[in-house]
Amino acid sequence: MTTRSPISAFVLITVPANKSGDIVRVLMDDYSEFVTEAAAVYGEADVTAKVETPSIDQLHRLVMDKIQNLPNVRVTRTFITVCVPSSDTCRSTSMSS
């Protein structure tokens, strides 16, 4: 029997000015089961969230059905972390949503 590893991803979120803190609070309070870290940041995105879900399907539902439907969320970009077990390096692939 094999144990499935959780799916880890970084979700970059674009929101209007002065709304970053609100989104960070909602992510940490309402989705703490999946969101391990969230922060307001400067740059291309306004909020970054590190998430872990049991499956790709659950990640899809979290991002598409929940995060994208939060008030003031304009755009999300999801980077699924892919780790190679035989090496210390990981690479990320982008899935724009």
pLDDT tens digit string along 65-87? 999 999 999 999 999 998 645 54
Average pLDDT over residues 29-44: 97
What residue has token string 């144990």? 3
**Cα separation, 31 vs 97, whole angstroms:** 19
Determine the 3-state secondary structure of 68 from DSSP: helix
What pLDDT, on the 0 to 100 scale, is given for residue 78? 98
What pLDDT, on the 0 to 100 scale, is given for residue 5? 72
pLDDT tens digit string along 52-68? 999 999 999 999 999 99
What pLDDT, on the 0 to 100 scale, is given for residue 84? 46
Determine the 3-state secondary structure of 95 from DSSP: strand
DSSP string, 11-63: EEEE--TT-HHHHHHHHHHHSTTTEEEEEE-SSS-SEEEEEEESSHHHHHIII
% residues pLDDT > 70 (the chain): 80
Task: Please name the fold of domain 7-96.
Answer: Alpha-Beta Plaits (3.30.70)
